[in-house]
Copies of this chain bind each other. A is one copy, B any other.
Amino acid sequence: MRNITLSQAVNEALAEEMRRDPTVFIIGEDVAEAGTPFKVLSGLVEEFGTQRVIDTPISEPGFMGIAVGAAMTGARPVVDLMFGDFIFLIMDQLCNQAAKTHYMSGGKLSVPLVLRTNLGATRRSAAQHSQSLHALVAHIPGLKVALPSSAYEAKGLMKTAIRDNNPVVIFEDKLMYSDKAPVPDEEYLIPFGQAEIKRAGKDITLVATSSMVQVCEKAADILAAENISAEVIDPRTIVPLDEETLVNSAKKTSRVIVVDEGHQSYGITGEIASRINEKAFYHLDAPVLRMGAMDVPVPFSPVLEDLTVPTPEAVVEKARKLVSGEMIHAA
């Protein structure tokens, strides 16, 4: 095992899959010589050439549509969408076209493509470059959605995504690109729909996605010092969702908080909390609680922006309340 950055992990996954399968290609803005603004793709154009690492004009709907057509005719494109916020521009091609083609054609056509993009605030990039929009695509049948929480997941999920025969959207946490994590030397893939228990515990379950896994691990550390044993679970893919692991944990701990960086209202926490609640209701000592980003456009000013995203301290506070039974009085 080596420690490599999330950037390197994604880069390796792409390089390995491109070596393995000549139909895989990358398409997006400044993906070739520039290797993207986050430099995630550096070196790929040198190895695979401009026919397989294709720089586009600033035409997100256009190149997304082109990727759909290429996928329908035998290629496996990896679309690079520079910021997750730009997903609003390609929703028609992604949700009306890519997501529905297999079904609408009665299974005769398929669209094996990967949309690589990112999420995450606190980079002082303001409202149009800081959103975490995975809830939108998770709602659309026909799309799969992966949320890697470290370099390890980023590599393993990317490789699976490329080989999957469906459109898969992967949101990387842009604050994590230079974070290192242990990544095996040997080849590995991470199956979709398998949550990972990041840390076992017995008093409370913290279901955490993407950037919030680290936050919840830190929270679990703090809680441990107070003798509260928190289980941290990362679903890794939200479509498909590994309900079973989540429900089993809930039954065990009887208390759950779902933590995610998307806006809280009408985001993914409501769905995950509801599924747990439906299947583990009679085992729960308290309502499944949720923590998402505040329901505000992401503000530029650092003093405001930092207030909008769940922190370890905030998670700890909520967990304490749950465990102490304080919620009973609140309800």
* Chain A residues within 8 Å of B, Cβ to Cβ: 85-89, 91-92, 94-96, 99-100, 103-104, 126-128, 135-136, 138-142, 238-239, 262-263, 265-275, 277-284, 286-290, 294-297, 299-300, 327-328, 331
Contacts and interface: CB of A to CB of B under 8 A. Distances in A.
A280 B280 CA distance: 16
A293 to B, nearest CB: 9
28 contacts: A87-B91, A88-B91, A88-B92, A88-B94, A88-B96, A89-B92, A100-B128, A104-B127, A104-B300, A135-B266, A136-B136, A138-B265, A139-B265, A139-B266, A140-B263, A141-B265, A265-B271, A266-B268, A266-B271, A270-B275, A274-B274, A274-B288, A277-B277, A278-B289, A280-B331, A281-B284, A281-B286, A281-B327
A126 B280 CA distance: 36
B126 A104 contact: yes
A198 to B, nearest CB: 23
Number of copies: 2
Nearest to A282: B331
Contacts of A297: 99-100, 103-104, 141-142
Contacts of A104: 126-127, 297, 300
A91 B99 CA distance: 17
A308 to B, nearest CB: 10
B139 A135 contact: yes
A127 B100 contact: yes
A86 B140 CA distance: 14
Contacts of A275: 270
A65 to B, nearest CB: 12
A291 to B, nearest CB: 12
B138 A282 contact: no
Contacts of A278: 287-290, 331
A271 B295 CA distance: 13
A299 B103 contact: yes
Contacts of A127: 96, 100, 103-104
